[in-house]
Homo-oligomer: A and B are copies of this chain.
Amino acid sequence: MINSSLLLKEYNLKVTPQRVAIVEELYKHGHMNIDELYKKLLEKFPSISLATIYKNVNAMVEKIFLNEVKIPETKSVYELAKEAHSHLVCSSCGKIEDIKIDTSVLNDSIKEKSSFQIENVDIVFSGICTSCQNKSK
């Protein structure tokens, strides 16, 4: 499990039940878009407002402990910040997985061809996940 309260405190955000729930749902599901978060939180807080979700997600993104992941052809999803990693997206079912790969080769390759000073790399792989591969058989 995750210590959401501690995490929130570390980032100078007051610990409210709504915020704790956001962190925990993200921890549990890995990646969620605004709407999924909203629907999930509605279960616990029947009167929660979409505005609350937006305000909190934005606040957490600013504090850099949430991360917005932009994915081709879909809405952005949010994830708890963690070690740098790339994403695998199933173009059939939409499932998103994290994957750690070594990207240093890429940076080297850039260094040769461009004088951009690289600070960060975002990589999204699209493809078919295992279970969708099996379904189609």
Contacts and interface: CB of A to CB of B under 8 A. Distances in A.
A117 B128 CA distance: 5
A64 interface: no
Interface stretch (A7-15, A17-25, A108-116): A108-116
Contact of A116 (B68, B73, B90): B90
A12 B2 CA distance: 54
Nearest to A123: B123
Interface in A93-126: 97, 99, 101-103, 105-106, 109-110, 113-126
Interface of A: 68, 70-73, 88, 90-91, 97, 99, 101-103, 105-106, 109-110, 113-130, 133
Given A116-B129, A122-B126, 17 more contacts: A72-B120, A88-B110, A88-B116, A90-B116, A97-B114, A99-B113, A101-B113, A103-B106, A106-B123, A110-B125, A115-B133, A117-B133, A118-B126, A118-B127, A120-B126, A121-B123, A122-B122
A71 B70 contact: yes
